[in-house]
Structure 1
Amino acid sequence: MGQLKHRDLNQHDQHQDLILLYTRLLEKTSLTKGILRESTRSPSSDSSCSVLSLLHQNNQLKKKTGELAYQVLELQQKVKDKELVLEEQRSSLLEVSRRLEGAFDSRQELQRQVEKVQEENGSLKTKYDNLLERQRREETKLREEKVKGDHLLENMIGPKQQAAARMNNRNQRRSRAREANLQKELQTAAGSKVTLDSCSSAPSSRSTSPKSPESRDGGHARLFRSSSVSSPRILSSIRELFQKRRGHSVCSLEEDQVFPVRISLSARVPVRALQVLEAHEQGINAVRFSSCSQLLATGGTDRQVKLWEVRAGSLTHRASLDGGTEGITCVEFDAAGSRILASSYDRSALLWRLDDSVPKWTLTGHSRKVTAARFSGCLHQVVTGSADRTIRLWDLQRAACVQVVAVPSYCSDLVCSENFIISGHFDSKIRVWDTRTLRCVQELPAQGKVTSLDISSDQRQLLSCCRDDCLQLVDLRGRSNDRVCFRAEGFTCGSDSTKAVISPDGCFLAAGSADGAVYIWNVSTGNLETRLPDRHSSSISAVAWSLSGEYVVSVDRSRLAVLWSDI
């Protein structure tokens, strides 16, 4: 009803002028009709003219009335069109109103969701703040516990070091006493006279009666049991003196064993490739000769360690050692050549006996890939380095980690000597650790990221390969640790795990380049001795030099292994 009233008012206002004109027209029409009726009643001729004029006006008014009626019709049609447009606009307005109401409802729903999310975020932030505060407290406690642990360790190590020093002093005194006794016995044996009788007279001389002149005189003609070099007592003393003891004086008896001393011949610089073969199904990361130089081990990304026999200038496959779940990063033989150790991308190290393809031990505990695994200076001990910035010492008798050392940077490689562990890192540092306390006793600078380490047979020189395309040779004998750098035009370190080696006699250095060539330097001159090209089609990952000095093997990322020699 209200809409109808509103519509009536709008239309009334729009056509008010037209209605007034139409009303006036009707009044004039009625007036004209009245005049005509009066004129018909008065017959005077004077009014005839006025009647005619009135008739003319009437006609004009009719004509005007027709035009106005036509205009009224046109205006009514326009009004109808406007009403249709108005209806459409009203319907669209209603639709927009409904959509606006829906949007308003959606906005309210979104506002409720936002408020809910804000409440959840507030509660989560409160929990996070509580956890952060708890973490800070736990870190504070951890630091305090580490300090306490360091103090306890120092308190424990101090008496042990003193006891070890006392034991070493006693052992040195005993060794000096044995040497003195042995020297006296040797001098006595050298100064004594030994009479040699025939086989028939020797027994009778031992049983000579007291009445014999020789026995009465007690002279020099009396036969005696001299302390000769063939005496078991002297042989045992000599054996004790020249026996190579593994570890320290406080080690167990199992570690006091005799191992063969490595004696290497003069290394020969290879000049040609004797054999090229696809040793693995995927890229090869590591290669190592055994101490006898007749057995070679390779490890690759195909998760296998393969053993090869070196005979008559060729490699013959002997066995494949399985057990790893990811690629192999490093391989190592023990001193006796009966066991092989490997590190893997699967955060573990594996140990095999050469007569068994199943690993005897799997050492797990690192949180990232193990980059290096080495036999330490003591029997039944293994050292591993990892990308998780830790070095771990393992006891093989228990197959357990006995000590963990946190290092400041990514550990890329390790080498072990009798009393030290040397590690190379990505922070361009080489760190020397005491095996008794596993404390860093020295830091040596490198030219760049250290990719590998190797130590000479006499343990006097340390070789490091760096990512700045430089090999660095460090003299470990002096306190100054003199360093010599070796570079060559064209040599490029191909990866973060490229391995270089020292020749067995310490006269040459060998490393593989990203261009697929083997570069060999002369240590005495510092110059490049030779370059062995055209056998590898990809970057060389590792090089090994046999202890006999006769062979060099290089391996690359494209599965190739090349046996080099000077023959």
Structure 2
Amino acid sequence: MAAVTVTSRRTMTDSVGVLEQSGRVLAPGGSGRSAETWKRHIIRQLKHRDRSQHAMFQDLIRLYTQLLEKTSLAKGILSCSIRCPSPDSSSSISSLLHQKNQVEKTTGELAYQAVELQQEIKIKECVLEERHVRLEEERRRLVDASETHQELQERVKQVQEENGALKMEYDALLERQRAAEARLREENIRGHHLLEEMIHLKQQAAARMNSRNERRSRAREANLQKELQTAARSKVNIDSSSSSAPTSRSTSPKNEDRSTESTERKHTRLFRSASATSPRILTSIKELFDRRRRGQSVCSLEEDLMCPVRICLSARVPARALQVLEAHEQGINAARFSSSSDLLATGGTDRVVKLWEVRAGSLTHRATLDGSTEGITCIDFEPRGLLILAASYDKSALLWRLDDSVPKLTLTGHSRKVTAARFSSLSHQVVTGSADRTIRLWDLQRAACVQEVEVASFCSDLVCSENCIISGHYDCKIRVWDARAESCVQELPAQGKVTSLDLSADHRQLLSCCRDDCLQLVDLRRWSNDRMCFRAEGFKCGSDCTKAVISPDGCFVAAGSADGTVYIWNVSTSNLETCLPDKHSSSISAVSWSLSGEYVVSVDKSRRAVLWSDI
């Protein structure tokens, strides 16, 4: 190694010398300055290389030079000792051998260290190679990550563009929705106005028709009056001995004078002319009175004839339950017997009216009347029993024939739920009460409202008597309306919110049920402040639509309590007659008593109907 280093140094020195000589040769030429410049540059590069290589191998060269020096020294000593033996040769030889051993030991240690260093270098080269490999992998992963990052950025830009487009579409749809809602509100307002205008036009048309019919009726009455007066002015004297009128009129004038004188002397009787009893005048009188009785309606005479109603002489106080059944799919709000007592109607929140036949102490389902879009609140039968009327939460009242499940008429016009619907004293008219604080009179032939009365409070129930309507309200008042004058003629105070009203069969007594847990009975003939109150321990009015009932003979009143018990009071003593418990699991909403006095039905909010009797 030293020889190589010395040789390289000599080569470099010779190169430098050659370069210097070539520089001296080129100097006289004129380009000597440029030659010295590149020469110095090369010399600097060579010196830099020598310094860098010398620094790298300086330690190794130094150690190796020391080793060589020691080796050469040991060889020289051995050769001298061999050539010139001396007395102290043995000691010197031993010392030399010792030195040799130390040198060999040092050489071995250095060799071992060199081997270890070579192994460490190999290990470090392996580690370095692994790190290079990992570095390349990380670089590749970095390149892949940057490519993925770039793709994701492009995807983000694309998604942002799509979101922007969707946002613009959403804004456009939102504007369209707002415009559509504004148009819908305008159309609703317009429809409301058109409905009001249509109702107003119908009312005007009804008023015009009523006035025209009134004028015609007055003209007919005037013509009939004239005919009657004309017939009354024509006088005929009839002889009791004559066999026939033509014989008396066929006599001669002389005989006529004689007969006249003779009849003047006798008791004579004045008769109307035969024209007064002619079929034409009798027909006119019949038509006049028929039109008066029908109230100017277009109903036929057959429809206006009233059917006889059974009269109950003595009602039976129920003692036990004959039948308990789940009558509806949801809670039941109303129950009503027909006038013949063989048919029961129930209605509830499942939006249907069910008809039940009452036979031999049991209820048999007969038909289901649908058509309402919301729950039923009140039910009423026509006195003849051919039609059934129901009030509904869908702001309307519906009319069915008993042989048809589709409504014959739907009376719409109220702005809130209809809480009561009853047939008036005229079979072609019905009265409805609503939560919109109005009471309306409807003509069924025209399916139009002919009268509307505004009240000061929520109407909970109403009943119809002859020429008057009685309504109960949430402001703790009972109002009596004259149907002819369209005005309130009397107000009766109540102790709480009125939940129901009921009339006795003879229309002489009015029963009211209030939220103060009290039933009151008023005599309509006197309208006095003296009232009969019915209370009982445990009785509690369960809701704002709890319906109480009077027995057909007017001797008992019945109502259902919030605890599922039916309470019955005696009217004559004002005492509790009996209680019917343990058949209802929730608040009783309505009680109905058959007109025959034989059965009582109670219904509750848990879909249950119970048929009671004393049998």
Q: TM-score, normalised by structure 1?
A: 0.62
**Equivalent residue of 1:111, what SS?**
helix
Change (3 A) 1:404 1:34: farther
The aligned counterpart of 2:537 is 489
Distance apart, 1:270 and its partner CA:
0.7
Distance apart, 1:552 and its partner CA:
3.2
Among candidates 350, 373, 376, match of residue 424 of structure 2: 376
Among candidates 379, 395, 408, match of residue 362 of structure 1: 408
User: How far apart are the structure 1 equivalents of 2:487 and 2:478?
Assistant: 14
Change (3 A) 1:455 1:322: same
Distance apart, 1:61 and its partner CA:
3.0
Change (3 A) 1:550 1:98: same
User: How far apart are the structure 1 equivalents of 2:480 and 2:597?
Assistant: 28
Query: Is the CA contact (8 Å cut-off) linking 2:371 and 2:407 kept in structure 1?
Result: no
Amino acid at match of 1:416: C
Query: Is the CA contact (8 Å cut-off) linking 2:357 and 2:363 kept in structure 1?
Result: yes
Amino acid at match of 1:297: L
Q: Deviations over 1:330-357 (max 9, x none)?
A: 542222344444567897724225xxx3
Q: Report whether the alignment pairs 1:27 with 2:76.
A: no
Q: Report whether the alignment pairs 1:416 with 2:461.
A: no
Query: Is the CA contact (8 Å cut-off) linking 2:441 and 2:451 kept in structure 1?
Result: yes
Q: Report whether the alignment pairs 1:270 with 2:317.
A: yes
Among candidates 543, 547, 554, match of residue 499 of structure 1: 547
Query: Is the CA contact (8 Å cut-off) linking 1:512 and 1:543 kept in structure 2?
Result: yes
User: How far apart are the structure 2 equivalents of 1:360 and 1:24?
Assistant: 119
Point out the structure with max Rg over C-alpha.
2
Among candidates 373, 383, 392, match of residue 335 of structure 1: 383
User: How far apart are the structure 1 equivalents of 2:580 and 2:482?
Assistant: 39
Query: Is the CA contact (8 Å cut-off) linking 1:370 and 1:387 kept in structure 2?
Result: yes
Query: Is the CA contact (8 Å cut-off) linking 2:589 and 2:603 kept in structure 1?
Result: yes
The aligned counterpart of 2:30 is none
User: How far apart are the structure 1 equivalents of 2:171 and 2:419?
Assistant: 45
The aligned counterpart of 2:600 is 552
Change (3 A) 1:395 1:483: same
Q: Deviations over 1:78-130 (max 9, x none)?
A: 33444455455445545544554454344333322321232122213322443
Q: TM-score, normalised by structure 2?
A: 0.58
User: How far apart are the structure 2 equivalents of 1:502 and 1:479?
Assistant: 18
For 1:387-402, list aligned pairs within 5 A.
394-398=442-446, 400-402=447-449
User: How far apart are the structure 2 equivalents of 1:436 and 1:99?
Assistant: 89
The aligned counterpart of 2:22 is none
Amino acid at match of 2:444: L
Deviates more, 1:264-273 or 1:467-476: 467-476
User: How far apart are the structure 2 equivalents of 1:270 and 1:456?
Assistant: 16
Amino acid at match of 2:113: K
Query: Is the CA contact (8 Å cut-off) linking 1:410 and 1:426 kept in structure 2?
Result: yes
Distance apart, 1:510 and its partner CA:
1.3
Q: Report whether the alignment pairs 1:320 with 2:366.
A: yes
**Is there any run of 5+ residues in structure 2 with no aligned partner, and where?**
1-52, 82-91, 230-239, 249-254
User: How far apart are the structure 2 equivalents of 1:509 and 1:20?
Assistant: 132
The aligned counterpart of 1:543 is 591
Query: Is the CA contact (8 Å cut-off) linking 1:214 and 1:222 kept in structure 2?
Result: no
Distance apart, 1:272 and its partner CA:
1.9
The aligned counterpart of 2:401 is 352
Change (3 A) 1:78 1:335: same
Change (3 A) 1:126 1:331: closer
Query: Is the CA contact (8 Å cut-off) linking 1:429 and 1:446 kept in structure 2?
Result: yes
Q: Deviations over 1:367-397 (max 9, x none)?
A: 9997654323433234456899997765433
Distance apart, 1:55 and its partner CA:
5.7
The aligned counterpart of 1:68 is 117
Query: Is the CA contact (8 Å cut-off) linking 2:315 and 2:596 kept in structure 1?
Result: no
Q: Report whether the alignment pairs 1:298 with 2:349.
A: no
Amino acid at match of 2:111: K
Distance apart, 1:416 and its partner CA:
3.5
**Equivalent residue of 1:65, what SS?**
helix
Query: Is the CA contact (8 Å cut-off) linking 2:362 and 2:611 kept in structure 1?
Result: no
For 1:206-245, list aligned pairs within 5 A.
218=264, 222=267, 224=269
Q: Report whether the alignment pairs 1:531 with 2:579.
A: yes
Amino acid at match of 2:172: S
Among candidates 542, 554, 562, match of residue 611 of structure 2: 562
User: How far apart are the structure 2 equivalents of 1:536 and 1:111?
Assistant: 65
Change (3 A) 1:322 1:106: same
Amino acid at match of 2:547: K
Change (3 A) 1:150 1:362: closer
Distance apart, 1:501 and its partner CA:
1.5
**Equivalent residue of 1:397, what SS?**
coil
The aligned counterpart of 1:13 is none
Distance apart, 1:62 and its partner CA:
2.7
Amino acid at match of 2:343: L
Distance apart, 1:299 and its partner CA:
3.0
Amino acid at match of 1:351: W
Query: Is the CA contact (8 Å cut-off) linking 1:29 and 1:58 kept in structure 2?
Result: no
Query: Is the CA contact (8 Å cut-off) linking 2:356 and 2:366 kept in structure 1?
Result: yes
User: How far apart are the structure 2 equivalents of 1:503 and 1:414?
Assistant: 18
Among candidates 103, 124, 149, match of residue 173 of structure 2: 124
User: How far apart are the structure 2 equivalents of 1:482 and 1:108?
Assistant: 87
Q: Report whether the alignment pairs 1:104 with 2:144.
A: no
Number of matched pairs: 508
Query: Is the CA contact (8 Å cut-off) linking 1:289 and 1:545 kept in structure 2?
Result: yes
User: How far apart are the structure 2 equivalents of 1:309 and 1:245?
Assistant: 38
Deviates more, 1:378-387 or 1:428-437: 428-437
**Is there any run of 5+ residues in structure 1 with no aligned partner, and where?**
1-18, 182-200
